[in-house]
A and B are shown apart, each in its own frame.
Chain A
Amino acid sequence: MTSHATTAATAPLDLTPRPGAAPTRQMLRAQSVMELRLLSRNGEQLLLTLVIPVLLLVMGTRSTDIVDLGEGRAIDIITPGVLALAVLSASFTSLAIATGFERRYGVIKRLGASPLPRWGLLLGKITAVLVVEAVQIVLLCGVGLALGWEPSGGVGAALWLLVLVALGTAAFGALGLLIAGTLRAEATLAVANLVYVLLLVGGGLIVPLSRYPDSAQKILELLPSGALGEGLRAAFDGGGPGLLPVVVLAVWALVAGLLTSRTFRWE
């Protein structure tokens, strides 16, 4: 090969090998920040995780015109339900779609060749989902209170909120990754959106289980959507959710988590 001068005026670039991984904390921070930055730039994701829940909450104050939520003030029934929906949108739909397209674009493969450990990749995703959920909870509780929401249960209800959101995130997140790790990106997009709409309409998220037929109630209280919606409504009702929603969400998280860890394809 004939050597020839590089014509572009480039700053001196010392290519001498000097390999090494960044400190783990730096890698984890970089990964989480990158996930959040991309998320904040994605209009569809923001629509799904923030705009739709807020709109539903506002519409919920006039819910008697749309759907009968049962006894009690509409805003007190619908606010916990919308919080449950917010968890579904961030930890399931949004996570599944983003991860599906990461696989499609070879991002997961590329990061798999970088010093970032695979658990670091997962931790970055969990952090991003939790940050989005924190924003959702603050925003939705604020809007709910402004619209006249009167939660009961005090500190206990707030603690239940944290426990149920954590378990719901684990269950829905594992299910989202299960889909994203096995289906093509387009199929993931379709399934994640379809499940979101189905659970929103008939999954026991927003409409209390008592409004469903008896036979449907038995099934819905065993679904993660029914467990999370019913659990949050009971928590802010002052009565506390009891054991069933906690157990249901934990079992879904465990089973889906195991399946995901066995089937997730990184490419």
Chain B
Amino acid sequence: MTSPAVEVRDLVMRYGATTAVDCLSLDVQPGTITAILGPNGAGKTTTIETCEGFRAPQSGTVRVLGLDPFVDATALRPRVGVMLQSGGAWSGSRAEEMLRHIASLHAHPLDVPSLVERLGLGSSGRTPYRRMSGGQQQRLSLAMAVVGRPELLFLDEPTAGLDPQARRATWDLVSELRDVGATVVLTTHFMDEAEALSDVVHIVDAGQVISSGTPAELATSGARNTIRFTARPGLDMPALMAALPHGTKAEESPTGRYVVSGDVDPTLLSTLTAWFATQDVLVDSLLVERQTLEDRFLDLTGRALR
């Protein structure tokens, strides 16, 4: 296994009496898209900005590409692309002008007109930054993170405020970056984004990583998956449970409607349908309900508004 592109160990960051990050640890493997998913105020931005070298860890360690981002900032900055959560351009600057400026600070920048076209920034023309739409500002911010051809990118809420088309274009660009060898770390509070885009998700709440894994692993780890079917009333539930793998539950409730819950996988489904055949049962309907990442996220972080 290669050494991680980003390694955060027991990071603690406090602002006055508030503990924003509370002993947080996570790894990011090179060449992956890693999502840091969490509700507002979970500590995502503080974590990512510490990785970007904006502040020193108050406790714990952070290594980025094997270096200390605060101490070795000069060596790291050319290698790391940063998209801030908001702002980052002169209020009077135009999109292409701003992008050209950031490009001119790098040795081998992307072709600016191509990038402008790719992200649909041409339409903003001579509009100063302060009068661009939120979506245009976001796309410019993404372009500024990408233009220096970094090997590692930190994107803080890259699709916040984007319309569906721009969101999809952002996803495409981020996937492409990963496919050509870059490492991407992004924060989001959109479950579908983490699910669709990332190889690894770290769910963060109250300054800690509370769960990590691939989106699929996280979604299934809660074991709230069920199969519902309707059939003639009075099927023999103890016999069904005996036929199914250990730990699977089956019950009839109400009459004629059945729920099987447990580790729902193809084997379980085929065992179930095989049992139907032996019992000469033709089900009227059968529905596999798998927990989504969103269910898991809400399970883990609670449903209270913050």
| Chain A interfacial positions (CB closer than 8 Å to B) | 1, 3, 6, 8, 10-23, 26-27, 30-31, 34, 37-38, 41-42, 101-102, 104-107, 109-110, 112-117, 267
Contact = CB atoms under 8 A, between A and B. Distances in A.
A105 B104 contact: no
Interface in B72-94: 74, 77-80, 82, 84, 86-93
A88 B44 CA distance: 43
Interface string B46-89: 00000011100000000000000000001001111010101111
Contact of B114 (A11, A34, A105, A107): A11
A171 B41 CA distance: 41
A267 B54 contact: yes
B98 to A, nearest CB: 9
Contacts of A115: 77-78, 105-106, 148
B115 A113 contact: no
B286 to A, nearest CB: 25
Contacts of B87: 104-107, 109-110
Nearest to B88: A110
B105 A114 contact: yes
B161 interface: no
B36 interface: no
A115 B77 CA distance: 5
A34 B84 contact: no
B197 interface: yes
6 contacts: A17-B181, A19-B151, A26-B104, A27-B105, A106-B84, A113-B84
B152 to A, nearest CB: 8
A21 B106 contact: yes
A16 B181 contact: yes
A149 to B, nearest CB: 35
B17 interface: no
A164 B118 CA distance: 51
Contacts of B131: none
B111 interface: yes
Given A3-B175, A22-B107, A106-B86, 15 more contacts: A6-B172, A8-B120, A10-B114, A17-B182, A18-B108, A19-B79, A23-B107, A38-B93, A41-B92, A107-B88, A107-B89, A109-B88, A110-B82, A113-B52, A116-B105
B180 A105 contact: no
A232 to B, nearest CB: 32
Interface residues of B, number: 54
Contact of B113 (A11, A107, A114): A11
A110 B84 contact: yes
Interface string B111-124: 10111011010000
Contact of A101 (B78, B91, B173): B91
A38 B92 contact: yes
B115 to A, nearest CB: 6
Most chain B beta-carbon contacts within 10 A, residue among A13, A34, A101, A109: A13
Contacts of A267: 54
Contacts of A1: 171, 175, 196-197
B86 A112 contact: no
Contact of B180 (A6, A16, A117): A16
A16 B149 contact: yes
A34 B117 contact: no
B169 A8 contact: yes
A97 B151 CA distance: 36
B118 A8 contact: yes
A42 B92 contact: yes
B77 to A, nearest CB: 5
A109 B54 contact: yes
B82 A21 contact: no
Nearest to B173: A15
Given A10-B114, A109-B88, A15 B177 contact: yes
